[in-house]
Amino acid sequence: MDALKTIAQDSMKAEAPQFGIGDTVKVHVRISEGDKSRIQIFEGTVIARKHGGINETFTVRRVAHGCGIERVFPIHSPSVEKVEIVRTGVVRRAKLYYLRDRVGKAAKVKAKY
């Protein structure tokens, strides 16, 4: 079991991004298309963080053209270049799945000033 932990420690990022639930973030993701690669930015609200250690993931939700889009990103993935915090939100829940049912201004999270 200790051997698995040491292997997991080696593949974890040294500086994992520090953000919380309810924050609006820009996730810079490396996309490989054939032999080329580029950075794509996905901006939205963090609605969940799951698991821990090497398996930790976070879910980002945004509404584009009236359709809700959610993407799940592994924190320690090499394809996630960086996570920028645009706005810090104030929430009282660990998971914000209730935002899926809300539309318009009701789906907003209060900002921390």
Q: What is the pLDDT of residues 34-88, one digit of tens each?
A: 999 999 999 999 999 999 888 999 999 999 999 999 999 999 999 999 999 999 9
Number of domains in the chain: 1
Range of the domain at 70: 2-107
Percent pLDDT > 70 in the chain is: 99
Give the Å distances, CA to CA, from 72 to 43, 104, 111, 113: 12, 22, 23, 27
Structural domain includes residue 113: no
pLDDT at 1 over 80: no
Q: What is the CATH number of the domain that holds 88?
A: 2.30.30.790
Structural domain includes residue 76: yes
CA atoms within 13 A on the CB side of 64: 10
Looking at every residue in the chain, the average pLDDT score rounds to 93
The pTM assigned to this predicted structure is 0.90
Structural domain includes residue 92: yes
The pair of three-digit structure tokens given for residue 5, joined into one six-digit string? 């932990």
Of 71, 68, 70, nearest to 107 by C-alpha is 68
35, amino acid identity: D
Structural domain includes residue 17: yes
Give the Å distances, CA to CA, from 71 to 2, 16, 60: 32, 18, 5
Structural domain includes residue 30: yes
Structural domain includes residue 78: yes
